[in-house]
Structure formats: structure tokens, C-alpha cells
A and B are shown apart, each in its own frame.
Chain A
Amino acid sequence: MTTLRQSTQNFGQLAQTSARTILFLLRARAFFVLIALLILFASLAPSFLTPNNLAILSKHVAISAILAIGMTFVVLTGGIDLSVGSVAGLSGMVAGYLLTQGLIINGVAHFPPVALLILITLLVCLAFGLLNGWLVAKAGVAPFIATLGTLYIARGAALLMSNGKTFPNLGGQVARGNTGFTQLGQHALLGLPLPVWIMLALFGLAWTIAVHTPLGRHIYAVGGNERAARLAGIRVPRVKIFTYVASSLCAALVGLIIASQLEAAHPATGESFELNAIAAVVLGGTSLMGGRGSIVGSLIGAFVIGVLSDGLVMLGVSEFWQMVIKGTVIVLAVAVDQLHSRLQTRLLPYLESSSQGPN
């Protein structure tokens, strides 16, 4: 009798440990995929792990990572923001317009200095975030539809700004006092490009908000169960509007960075960027149903996508195969995500207090 109980207890402990291990491995899957990709490309492409290449790689990742950080907030509330690519395009065009045409007041063109110009651009994009948030939280439009609409509005606005043309030579002119815009995308600090620092800073900020502030808890709560959140006294609309504004501001930064890197603003910039951002968020384990996920995951997801595309370019894989491979990784990631949540429910009994086995 005693031996039987003891063995049940041992079994229970064993089951608990292995259940925990399995769940941990599944939860950290994006991280393992990232490590595997890094090892794979390092062994196939000799210059892959050089500091220089890693810096450039992170600069490329920064674009989708910044979008993914903003997108994570939206997705955590159970929403989606399809407008980020267009808002990024618009942001570059607003900056390009202000740099090359200036603000025309009473027929005289005023050229704002770069800091003010960035502020104006961010404000314009913030308006799009407010519009998205208002449509979703107050007007009750489904997030997919609301942001699909603003996707077209922002793209159309970007095209209207120049009548479809590119704004070239964004270096600014000393006489106009608006030089320095190109530093944003091209300057390097301690060996890392500025966009990477922006990504890290945003990551730190977003992580703190998500994990350590009431607002972060509210975002998770709204996504987990909106009705319960409302009954608990959370101002659901305000929380939602915040997430869409955050997402638009991230998109604005991306547009500014790209325009600064290329020293040119093209109205079609950012097409399908929203899909990359959503892919990164999903790869990082955030559920599209809301309430579950993390900022860290999205950052890792963005790195997975970035490492994959840059690595394949270095190996000389054709564009067509790159698309197939990228798609496969995304589909597999979502399939594993489903497996994860199903296993989590199934293994729940094993996770409860150690002396109790499953019934």
C-alpha cells in the first residue's frame, strides 16, 4: 500500500517535471528556431556571424521589429492593425514633403528644423492611430475593417502628397537649416546603427508597459475577456485607443527611418509591411484571439523573419523559394501554437500541486 502510494507520487512528480519541460520548450520555440537558424546560416555562409553583418542584420530586423512591437499591443487586445504599412509610407512622405517643399504659410515656404519635422510627422500619424482607435472602440467597427479602410486612406494620402512622385535628396540644405534628417537611419552609435537603438529603446518601453504597469495588465485583460474587463471597471475604449495610437507611432518611426536611410521618400513604401509585422507577432506566440502573448516573443519573431530573409539572400536563394520558405515557417509556427495551447489544457492536471497525480 505504501509502496503503491509512493510510486504514484514519484510518477506524479516525474509527470509534472516532464510536462513543465515540454511546455517550456513549446513556449520558447521561437527562440529555439532563431538559434537553429543562426547555427544553420553561420555554417553555410562564412561571413554571416561577422559583427558587421550582424549589425546590418539587426538594422533590417529593426524595421519589422518596431512595427511588431506596436502591433503586439493591438493584437493583445484582440484587434489587428492592417494600416501600419500605409502609415509608414505616409510618414516618409510627410517628412519628405516638409524637407523639400516646406510648410507653406501665406504663400511663403517655411522649412522646419529636423526635430520639429519629426514631431509633425509623428502627430500626423498619431491622428491615424486615433482614427483607428475611435473606429474600433467607439464606433464599433471590426478592427480588420476599420484598419483596412485607414490602410487605403493613408496610402491614398501618401500618393496625393506628391501626386505619385518620389521626394528625392532628403539631406536638407544648410541655408534652410534643415540638415541632419539622414542621421536618423544612417548614424551609428557604439557600432550599432541608430534604428537598432530605437528598436531596443521601444522594446524596453513596451516591455515595461506590458509587464509592469496597470495599463499593460488592462491590455491583457481586455484581450482575455472584454466583458469581464469592462465589469471590472477598466476603461476598455481608452485602452484600445492607446494600442492603436502606439501602433501608428511605431509605423511612423519606421517610415521616417526608411526615408532617412534611402534619402528619398516613395509613396509606395511599406506595402505589405503589416503582413511581416503580423507574422512576427504570431511567430512570437501572441494569440490573434488576444489576451495571450508577449513583447519579447514579437521581438524574437521579428528576428526569426529577418534572419531567415537575410540568410537566404546571402546563400543566393531565389526570391520565389524565399517566399515559400517564409510561408512554411509561419504556418508551422501557428500550427505549433495550436499544439501548445491544446497541450497546455491537456497537461494542466500534471501541473497542479506535486503530491497529486492525475485522477
Chain B
Amino acid sequence: MRRVIRGVAIGAASLVLIAATACHRADISRPLIFILVPSQDNPFFRSEADAAAARARALGYRVRIDAHDDDAYRQDNLIDAAIASNAAAIILDNAGADSSIAAVRRATHAGIPCFLIDREIDADGIAKAQIIADNRQGARIAAEEFARAVGRDGGNYVELLGRESDTNAQVRTQGFHSVLDSQTKLHRVAAQSANWSQSEAFAKTETMLQAHADIRGILAGNDTMALGAVAAVKSSGLKGIVITGFDGSPDAVAAIRSGSLRATALQPAVLIARLAVDEADQFLHSGHTGKPERQVIACDLVTQHNADDYGEFEKVR
């Protein structure tokens, strides 16, 4: 019993220590910008949140970053937290086009302007700005490069879809097919969702390569899945399979440089995050952003020719 008590005491003491180191001291007097993104373990959302935070700090704001894990309920709770902590503005990468409307409206009614990045909501006039990357155009340029790389003779290809309940997964696959379906020599022989995940894409690509021996290309809905496909193709020993991704993550750009990945459509996430913070700052000072609510920023095609021009989700040169 005594040892148990000692163990529990040690546990409690270490918890206090962890809490103490985890808390950042913040200057309460400065206004707070609340940055809410889907996850903090995904390089894309991470870069977006970091870019927004850096810009906000540079403009003299306090910053809090949180992740809603694509869970509309959790997002609701975090919006409540933002209201309770009297935030000056919310930068939000939302958890669903329909399911986020109520949360954004509640924050707006509470007097906190919301600036949406990366994903839209299906309502106008509530958020102060909705700045997104053009997923359809990005998918089209990726698909065009894919078709070009597979070549004039065409052939069979497989597609790795994102999480099928995610709007961006649907928009991207529509964009791909608006280009590829008119190409009579390209045939999609299989399509599987790998839920944006690298290890799932790895296993599913290995299996699809077994089912279809004559695959010339793999079209992936994002870069993590594309990198899973790269690892699977490498382990199968097959050569000359064209793989393209979407997002423009640093790992994917590195793979493009090394030649194992053909291309990706880079979403200017960093630019979008900075724009949102700038517009929030503008709004807080003057009461308007000076821009239309919906703003669509074009994606860039990254290939071996221009890979050196790109850093973490932005053009650096």
C-alpha cells in the first residue's frame, strides 16, 4: 500500500512539473488571436498554424493554437473556449463545410470575427473572410502533369483517395477526372481510400500492385499517401511508375528532387495563413478587411524543374 501511495505521489509531482513546463507565460495585456486547425501532427496544418502564429506575434498579438481533429463537436468546444477567453479574432481551418456554420455564427455573435483558411463553409456573410487554395485548379494541374508523364501511349493507373467524407478529397478527385476522363488511353483500374495516411497508402498500394500488374501510374489525393505509394513501389522493385501527390509538403518536394515522386500541386498554405492574419489585423483596426469574403488562391505545380524554388508550403524564390 505504501509503495502504491509513493508511486501515486511521484506521479502527481511529475504531473505538476509537466504542467509547469507546458504553460507558456503570456502577456495578458495584448489582444489574443485564436488559431484553430484540424491537427498539429500533420505537416500541412502545422505549417499553416505556425505561419499564422508567427505573423500574429509579429503584429503584436498573443496567440493560442489548438487542434479540433476534424471533430465538429470538439471544434464547438474550442470556439466556446475562444469566446470565454475573450479572443480578438479567430483564424479557423474548420471541421466541415456544413457542421461548422453554427460555431462560426456563435463566435461572430459574441463579437469575435472569424477568418477561415484552407476550407470554406457553406454560408456567406458570417465569416469575415474565407481564403482557400484552389483545390480544383490544383488537381487539374497535377492531373495534366500526370498524363504528360505517363506519356502518349497511356495505360492503366490507380488512384489513392483521401478520407471519403472530406470535401477536399471529393473536389480533388473531381478535378483529376475532369482532366483524365477525356484521355481515352488512360484507364483507372482501381481506386481506394487510404484516409490521407502514409502507412495505409503503403499497404493498399502494395496490394493493388499485386492485383494489377500493368500499372503505369499512381494518382494520390495528397502527399503523405503519395509518399506511401513511393515506398510501396520501391519495395516492389517496379520501375517507371509515375506518382503524383497534392499539398506540396517539404517531404514530397524532397522526393520530387530525388526523382521518386513526379509532381505535386503546392497549396500556398503559408501565404493563406498570413493573408488571413493581415486581414484580421486590418479588420480589428478599421472594421473592414478591404477584400471580398471569398478569396481563392491558385496552387503551384512543383516538378523536378522548379522544386528548389519551394520551401514549407510556400514559394521562397
From A242-250, A315-323, A334-342, the one touching the partner chain is A315-323
Residues 46-64 of A at the B interface (beta carbon under 8 Å)? 47-48, 50, 52-53, 56-57, 59-60
C-alpha gap A52/B209 in the complex (Å): 11
Q: A262-B231, A314-B208, A319-B164 are in contact. Are A164 and B199 (CB under 8 A)?
A: no
Minimal beta-carbon separation of A82 from chain B (angstroms):
18
Contact A47 B213 (CB under 8 A): yes
Residues of chain B within 8 A (CB-CB) of A269 are 198-199
- Residue of A whose beta carbon sits closest to that of B67: A164
Residues 192-245 of B at the A interface (beta carbon under 8 Å)? 192-193, 195, 197-199, 202-204, 206-208, 210-211, 213, 224, 227-228, 231, 235
Residues of chain A within 8 A (CB-CB) of B199 are 258, 261-262, 266, 269
Q: Mark B185-197, 1 if CB is under 8 A from A, else 0.
A: 0000011110101
Most interface-central of B210, B224, B228 (chain A CB within 10 A): B210
Contact A60 B193 (CB under 8 A): no
Contact B210 A316 (CB under 8 A): no
Residues of chain B within 8 A (CB-CB) of A166 are 43, 251
Taking Cβ atoms with an 8 Å cutoff, the residues of B that contact A are 3-4, 7-8, 39-43, 46, 161, 164, 190-193, 195, 197-199, 202-204, 206-208, 210-211, 213, 224, 227-228, 231, 235, 251, 254
- Residue of A whose beta carbon sits closest to that of B203: A60
Residues of chain B within 8 A (CB-CB) of A186 are 235
C-alpha gap A47/B212 in the complex (Å): 8
Q: Which of B41, B161, B228 contacts A159 (CB 8 A)?
A: B41
- Residue of B whose beta carbon sits closest to that of A135: B7
Could you jot down 12 A-B contacts, CB within 8 Å? A47-B213, A53-B207, A53-B210, A56-B207, A138-B3, A264-B198, A267-B41, A268-B39, A268-B42, A314-B207, A316-B190, A319-B193
C-alpha gap A59/B43 in the complex (Å): 28
Q: Mark A279-301, 1 if CB is under 8 A from B, else 0.
A: 00000000000000000000000
Minimal beta-carbon separation of A189 from chain B (angstroms):
15
C-alpha gap A267/B198 in the complex (Å): 11
Q: Mark A175-217, 1 if CB is under 8 A from B, else 0.
A: 0000000000010000000000000000000000000000000
Minimal beta-carbon separation of A46 from chain B (angstroms):
9
Most interface-central of B43, B191, B203 (chain A CB within 10 A): B203
Contact A159 B40 (CB under 8 A): yes
A45 part of interface (Cβ distance < 8 Å): yes
C-alpha gap A140/B7 in the complex (Å): 12
Residues of chain B within 8 A (CB-CB) of A264 are 198, 227, 231, 251
Contact A313 B195 (CB under 8 A): no
Residues of chain B within 8 A (CB-CB) of A266 are 41, 198-199, 224
- Residue of B whose beta carbon sits closest to that of A54: B210
Contact A168 B254 (CB under 8 A): yes
Minimal beta-carbon separation of A187 from chain B (angstroms):
10
Minimal beta-carbon separation of B255 from chain A (angstroms):
9
A230 part of interface (Cβ distance < 8 Å): no
Most interface-central of A48, A163, A314, A315 (chain B CB within 10 A): A314
- List 17 extra interface pairs beyond A50-B210, A159-B40, CB under 8 A: A47-B210, A48-B210, A56-B206, A60-B203, A60-B206, A138-B7, A140-B4, A164-B39, A168-B254, A258-B199, A263-B231, A268-B41, A268-B197, A313-B211, A316-B211, A319-B161, A319-B192
Contact A60 B164 (CB under 8 A): no
Q: Mark A74-87, 1 if CB is under 8 A from B, else 0.
A: 00000000000000
Residues of chain B within 8 A (CB-CB) of A258 are 199
Minimal beta-carbon separation of B263 from chain A (angstroms):
18
Residues 237-275 of A at the B interface (beta carbon under 8 Å)? 258, 261-264, 266-269
C-alpha gap A168/B228 in the complex (Å): 12
Contact B46 A164 (CB under 8 A): yes
Contact B228 A262 (CB under 8 A): yes
Residues of chain A within 8 A (CB-CB) of B40 are 159, 164
A165 part of interface (Cβ distance < 8 Å): yes
Residues 147-168 of A at the B interface (beta carbon under 8 Å)? 159, 163-166, 168
Q: Which of B3, B192, B211, B231 contacts A45 (CB 8 A)?
A: B211
C-alpha gap A267/B224 in the complex (Å): 13
C-alpha gap A320/B193 in the complex (Å): 9
Minimal beta-carbon separation of A313 from chain B (angstroms):
5
Minimal beta-carbon separation of B45 from chain A (angstroms):
9
Q: Which of B193, B206, B251 contacts A318 (CB 8 A)?
A: B193
Minimal beta-carbon separation of B299 from chain A (angstroms):
21
Q: Which of B3, B206, B211 contacts A47 (CB 8 A)?
A: B211
C-alpha gap A268/B46 in the complex (Å): 13
Q: Which of A168, A313, A318 contacts B207 (CB 8 A)?
A: A313
- Residue of B whose beta carbon sits closest to that of A188: B235
Minimal beta-carbon separation of A183 from chain B (angstroms):
12
A11 part of interface (Cβ distance < 8 Å): no
Minimal beta-carbon separation of A101 from chain B (angstroms):
16
Contact B208 A313 (CB under 8 A): yes
C-alpha gap A109/B189 in the complex (Å): 48
Residues of chain A within 8 A (CB-CB) of B228 are 262
| Closest 10 A/B residue pairs (Cβ) | A319-B193, A314-B211, A53-B210, A164-B41, A164-B40, A313-B207, A168-B251, A267-B41, A310-B207, A268-B41
Minimal beta-carbon separation of B124 from chain A (angstroms):
32
Residues of chain B within 8 A (CB-CB) of A163 are 46
Residues of chain A within 8 A (CB-CB) of B3 are 138
- Residue of B whose beta carbon sits closest to that of A259: B199
C-alpha gap A319/B197 in the complex (Å): 13
Residues of chain B within 8 A (CB-CB) of A47 are 210-211, 213
Residues of chain B within 8 A (CB-CB) of A164 are 39-42, 46
A324 part of interface (Cβ distance < 8 Å): no
Q: A261-B231, A319-B192 are in contact. Are A138 and B4 (CB under 8 A)?
A: yes
Q: A47-B213, A138-B3 are in contact. Are A165 and B206 (CB under 8 A)?
A: no
Minimal beta-carbon separation of A92 from chain B (angstroms):
10
Minimal beta-carbon separation of A86 from chain B (angstroms):
12
Q: A165-B46, A319-B164 are in contact. Are A139 and B7 (CB under 8 A)?
A: yes
Minimal beta-carbon separation of B266 from chain A (angstroms):
17
